[in-house]
Amino acid sequence: MSHILQTLRNNKPLVIGLVVAPLGLYSGMKIKEWRNERKVHDIKREVAATATQAQPALSSADEIENELQGLRGVRDTLIRKESTLDQELESIHIKLKRLDEQEASKPSK
């Protein structure tokens, strides 16, 4: 036993290496795990930020779609009114033509 202790005392760099190497490996693995967890956390944060920024864009797209639907409704209403006005104008034109014909058929004094 004393021979083993003497050998260990004479080979201090070897003993230090045997103690430090596993600790170094362990701490290296822990640092790697921590970095991976940090990267995952950063990615999740970026995804959340992107989703938050994308939400107004989606709602503004919905608003645009709603406004477009409203404008289509207004356009349809204007087309119907235009059609009604065309019919009224045609009716007035026919009435004026009849009046002109009646005026022409009346005997002049």
pLDDT at 108: 63
pLDDT at 23: 84
- How far, in Å, CA of 42 to CA of 35, rounded? 10
Q: What is the maximum alpha-carbon separation in the chain?
A: 156
Q: Which residues of the chain have pLDDT under 70?
A: 54-59, 108-109
Q: How many helices (H) and strands (E) does the chain have?
A: 2, 0
pLDDT at 58: 61
pLDDT at 32: 92
Which pTM was predicted?
A: 0.40
